[in-house]
Amino acid sequence: VITKDQQAFMNVILDAYNRHQIPPDVAKKLLQEQYSAEENFLLLTEMATSQVQVLVEFTKHIPGFLSLDHEDQIALLKGSAVEASFLRSAQVFSSKMPNGHTEVLEERIRKSGISEEFMTPMFNFYKTIGELHMVEEEQALLTAITIMTPDRPYVKDQQAVERLQEPMLDVLRKLCALHHPHEPQYFARLLGRLTELRTLNHYHAEMLTSWRMN
Partner 1 sequence: PASNLGLEDIIRKALMGNLEE
* Residue of the chain from 14, 81, 142, 144 that contacts partner 1 (CB under 8 A): 81
Question: Judged by CB under 8 A, does residue 149 bind partner 1?
Answer: no
Interatomic CA distance for residues 138 and 51, integer angstroms: 19
* Residue of the chain from 2, 27, 52, 114 that contacts partner 1 (CB under 8 A): 52
Question: Judged by CB under 8 A, does residue 29 bind partner 1?
Answer: no
Q: Which of residues 102-141 bind partner 1 (CB under 8 A)?
A: none
Please state the closest distance from residue 99 (CB atom) to partner 1, in A.
31
Question: Judged by CB under 8 A, does residue 73 bind partner 1?
Answer: yes
Question: Judged by CB under 8 A, does residue 18 bind partner 1?
Answer: no
Stretch that binds partner 1, among 77-85, 106-114, 134-142, 162-170 (CB under 8 A): 77-85
Neighbouring CB atoms inside 10 A of 10's CB total: 21
Please state the closest distance from residue 58 (CB atom) to partner 1, in A.
10
* Residue of the chain from 8, 31, 37, 42 that contacts partner 1 (CB under 8 A): 42
Residue number, 30 or 172, with CB nearest to partner 1: 30
Interatomic CA distance for residues 207 and 11, integer angstroms: 36
Question: Judged by CB under 8 A, does residue 53 bind partner 1?
Answer: yes
* Residue of the chain from 3, 45, 120, 214 that contacts partner 1 (CB under 8 A): 45
Contacts of 152 (CB under 8 A, 6+ apart): 75, 76, 78, 79, 80
Residue number, 14 or 171, with CB nearest to partner 1: 14
The pairs formed by 17-20 with CB atoms below 8 angstroms and a separation of 24 or more are 17/58, 17/136, 17/139, 17/140, 17/143, 17/144, 18/136, 18/140, 20/54, 20/55, 20/57, 20/58, 20/61
Three-class DSSP labels, 97-160: CCCCHHHHHHHHHHCCCCCHHHHHHHHHHHHHHHHHCCCHHHHHHHHHHHHCCCCCCCCCCHHH
Interatomic CA distance for residues 162 and 143, integer angstroms: 15
* Residue of the chain from 12, 27, 74, 105 that contacts partner 1 (CB under 8 A): 74
Positions in the binding site for partner 1 (CB under 8 A)? 42, 45-46, 49, 52-53, 56-57, 60, 70, 73-74, 77-78, 81
